[in-house]
Structure 1
Amino acid sequence: MDTTSDAVDADPSDGRCRTASGTCTLRAAVMAANARPAVRPRCLPATTGSRSRPARD
């Protein structure tokens, strides 16, 4: 997003957030994202390593 104005996406099916004036508004970004087919989220494997920080003296 590069503007705070409220304008629709000129072509939501092209996958780009671009209004008729060439800017990217929040509404245009949502329209472009909603026009894309649903993507199944990727699941990352569980980690078994330690995530704690070393103790300080």
Structure 2
Amino acid sequence: FPVLLKQLELMLVSGELNPHHQHCVTLYAKGLTCEADSLGSCGYLYIAIYPTPDNRLIR
């Protein structure tokens, strides 16, 4: 979980994710999937984290 949040933080700092423009990213780490989308919502980042389905696990 902390790995996913750190990746999102780096994407925000680098400008890859901009909270003022809609953009969705999907990250995978340690059996978890993280979908994050700014929805162009003036500073908010909406995050969904859930177990990665078995067919997406990287071993």
Return the TM-score normalized by structure 2: 0.24
Q: Which has the larger radius of gyration?
A: 1
Larger fraction in strand: 2
Return the TM-score normalized by structure 1: 0.24
Larger fraction in helix: 2
